Amino acid sequence: MNTKLHVICDSLGHPLNLFVTAGQVVSDYIGARALLSNLPNVDWLLGDRGYDADWFREALKGNGIRACIPGRKQRKKALKYGKRRYRRRNRIKIMFGRLKDWRRVATRYDRCPKVFLFAIALTALFIYWLWELTLGRRW
């Protein structure tokens, strides 16, 4: 069983919303559509090429959010995006790396998607909120 995790993070890389879809057989658009209603009030949204769709960009623009998403390679007309701003996605990659430091998440012991999502949420809760509150650390 394969899954794909879609996450909305704040500017520090703390996960705010989580959504799990089936792995390689499902497009990233499914996760984008599911998380679209839960977007926080922000100025920018950074995403990778998998979220490049005209309807998604229009929905973001309707919410007053500017998209920093590179265009897919199959696009006939290249889209402009802020490459300097796009480099800040490393915080998101670091967040996924920290989640995978926990063996249960990295090796996917749970076969049920709901239980796996709960394990990820519990891991994120411990790493990003309880750890920082008790020790006062910033990553």
What pTM does this model have? 0.78
pLDDT at 65: 92
Distance of alpha carbon 65 from alpha carbon 59, whole angstroms:
9
Structure tokens at 105: 């998440």
pLDDT at 64: 93
Residues 100-134 pLDDT 10s: 888 888 877 777 888 888 888 888 888 877 766 66
Structure tokens at 72: 């897919």
The structural domains of the chain, ordered by start, are: 3-135 (3.30.420.10)
Averaged pLDDT of the chain: 83
pLDDT at 137: 58
